[in-house]
Structures are given as C-alpha cells and as structure tokens.
Amino acid sequence: MNIFIKNKLLRIVSNHELSALQANKFDTSLNAQVDPVRFFALTGNVLITAATNELLDQFFLYTFSEKEKNYKSITFVVADKKGAKKTVKSYFKVISAGGGVVYNKAKKVLVMKRLGKWDLPKGKADKGEKFRETAAREVTEECNIEVAVKKKVCTTWHTYRIHGKRMLKRTKWYKMDCLNAKKMAPQIEEDIEELRWMNREEIRKAMKNSYASIRFVLTAAGEYSKKKEQSSTPIADSE
C-alpha cells in the first residue's frame, strides 16, 4: 500500500515483500518491538519493522497534527497487511480514480502541466465504472485523444481534504497507447495548462517540478529513476 500524505510516502508492506526493498538504503531502521519510535525525531527514509495497528494509530495522530514532519518516507512492515489497510482506511473517506501513462508511436510519454506542476492525466470514477474505464475516460477528457488501455502499472493512494473531511483517493494506473492525437488539447476547465510528449531525459528534468506520487508512477512504469531516492521504489499493490 503506497500512500502519499503531503507529498511524502507512507508504505505498508508485508514481511515477504520486504525483500524487494533490501537493495535500497534506508537512513533509519527500527524494530518497533524493541526500539522506541519517536515520529517527530525521524529523518530521511525510514524503515520500521514489526509494526502494529496501534503504532499506525499513533502515526496518523502525529500526521494529522500541525507538527513539522522531517522524514522523506516511512515504510511499515506488518504481519497483517489486510488489518493494517483496514486501520488506514478507517481514518478517511475512500474514493476511486484511474489514470494513464500514455505512449505515442515514438514511445514518448504524455505529460501535462496542471497548476504549474508536471502531472499525469487522471480523475475520479463515475458511479459503476471499472478502474480501466475510468482511466481511459479521464485521459480522453483531459487530453482530447483516443487511447487503448494496456497493462496496469501500479496503485497509489493519496490523501487530501475537502471541506474539512479527510479523503483517501485510490488510483489505479495503466499504460496506454495513443491511437489518435490529431485534436489533442488540454482540458482548460480542469486547470490543465499544457500537454507535452516527453522522452526519459525530458521526464527526468520535468520531475524536479512535480509530485512524489507522479515520480512513483513513472518509476513503476520504467520511465523515471533517480538513484538514492528510496521513496521511489515501487511495491506492487493488488488494490
């Protein structure tokens, strides 16, 4: 479960998923059964093993406070991932969304500038829609192109507030082929300012002015990498 809270990554993984992260360095590694966990003192990319639902409760109380957060990412390793997800969801209203990593014939990726930052096309699901349908519709609406949806890239979770309510958006991302871009244009009413096809070098530069969640998705798609950026290491999520 890859959750982005105020542009920082909270990752919840099971014990068997931990091996996928071993090649990357964490700045701090704690065992919650024996080490004191003081969230306000954590910095860099943090690994916490033997995490319990009670510890997750403490983390969210800290997250919702106004205290300054100095960590870059936190990875909790839990014995009961299903139970941990239930705990996380209990703090939010969960909504569904879909998005796309769209390729043209030159294998460039379609990137958009929205509210001054580089982003990817995505949006909330309509009632009764499947994730793949939402992803295709949102890309079509936001970019005015025709696409064919291919394989799933990853799932991300993103938190924000609406009218004081805490929201948790679950977005499933898919690779897509652009079938027709003759009338491609940004959807102005969605605050999209520009659409641009980018190669990997252009993406790398653009991601300096983007969001952690978008860098995560492009990393999962194989289109972006930044050495030593532990928070960009994707872990598959079935949801």
On whether both 75 and 140 belong to a single domain, the answer is: no
On whether both 114 and 73 belong to a single domain, the answer is: no
Q: Which of 89, 109, 130 is the last residue of a domain?
A: 89
Per-residue pLDDT band for 53 (boundaries 50, 70, 90) equals: very high
56 falls within a domain: yes
Residue 145 clears pLDDT 90, i.e. is over it: yes
On whether both 26 and 133 belong to a single domain, the answer is: no
Q: Which of 89, 115, 137 is the last residue of a domain?
A: 89
146 falls within a domain: yes
Average model confidence (pLDDT) across the chain: 91
On whether both 149 and 222 belong to a single domain, the answer is: yes
Per-residue pLDDT band for 105 (boundaries 50, 70, 90) equals: very high
In the prediction, which pLDDT does 228 show? Answer: 46
On whether both 102 and 165 belong to a single domain, the answer is: yes
Q: Which of 73, 89, 105 is the last residue of a domain?
A: 89
On whether both 117 and 27 belong to a single domain, the answer is: no
pLDDT in tens, 57-78: 999 989 888 778 889 999 999 9
In the prediction, which pLDDT does 20 show? Answer: 78
55 falls within a domain: yes
Q: Percentage of residues in the chain with pLDDT exceeding 70? A: 93
On whether both 82 and 103 belong to a single domain, the answer is: no
237 falls within a domain: no
On whether both 164 and 47 belong to a single domain, the answer is: no
In the prediction, which pLDDT does 167 show? Answer: 94
Residue 233 clears pLDDT 60, i.e. is over it: no
In total, how many domains does the chain have?
2
In the prediction, which pLDDT does 68 show? Answer: 80
On whether both 108 and 76 belong to a single domain, the answer is: no
238 falls within a domain: no
In the prediction, which pLDDT does 230 show? Answer: 46
On whether both 83 and 182 belong to a single domain, the answer is: no
On whether both 127 and 182 belong to a single domain, the answer is: yes
184 falls within a domain: yes
Domain extent at residue 35: 2-89
On whether both 74 and 101 belong to a single domain, the answer is: no
Task: CATH number of the domain at 147, please.
Answer: 3.90.79.10
48 falls within a domain: yes
239 falls within a domain: no
pLDDT in tens, 25-35: 789 999 999 99
pTM for the complete prediction? 0.88
SS3 track for the chain: CEEEECCEEEEEEECCCHHHHCCCCCCEEEECCCCCCCHHHCCEEEEEEEECHHHHHHHHHHHCCCCCCCEEEEEEEECCHHHHHHHHHCCCEEEEEEEEEEECCCCCEEEEEECCEEECCEEECCCCCCHHHHHHHHHHHHHCCEEEEEEEEEEEEEEEEECCEEEEEEEEEEEEEEEECCCCCCCHHHCEEEEEEECHHHHHHHHHHCCHHHHHHHHHCCCCCCCCCHHHCCCCCCC
